[in-house]
Amino acid sequence: MTGKTETILKAEAESDYAALKDDIAMLRGDLKSIIEDVRGLAKVKAQDGMEKGKDLADKAGTQFKETRSEVETQIRDNPLAAVGIAFGAGLIIAMMRGK
């Protein structure tokens, strides 16, 4: 090989190496951007899930209070029936446990 050919090959190799470095840097930037987008999306989804969970908990709490109020009203209106039902339920549970 002549010195001129070696110089041309070396220049081409250096050019290819520089282009490869630029491509890798660009890929790193793209990957960083994708990771940030995924993190943002995950954060939004987590917040949505927390809000839905809070709404469900609030609804369940409200429903529990309403049901409790209805049960208390029924017990006040029919105290003997409530005592009889409680006694019967306790007897059935005791029989099921074998005691």
pLDDT digits (tens, 9 = 90+) for 62-98: 999 999 999 999 989 999 998 999 999 999 999 999 8
Q: Is the pLDDT at 52 greater than 90, yes or no? A: yes
Q: What is the pLDDT of residue 68?
A: 93
Q: Is the pLDDT at 23 greater than 70, yes or no? A: yes
Q: Which helix (H) or strand (E) holds 42?
A: helix 3-77
Q: What is the pLDDT of residue 44?
A: 92
Share the mean pLDDT of the chain: 90
Q: Is the pLDDT at 99 greater than 80, yes or no? A: no
Q: How far apart are CA 63 and CA 75, in angstroms?
A: 18
Per-domain boundaries in the chain: 3-97
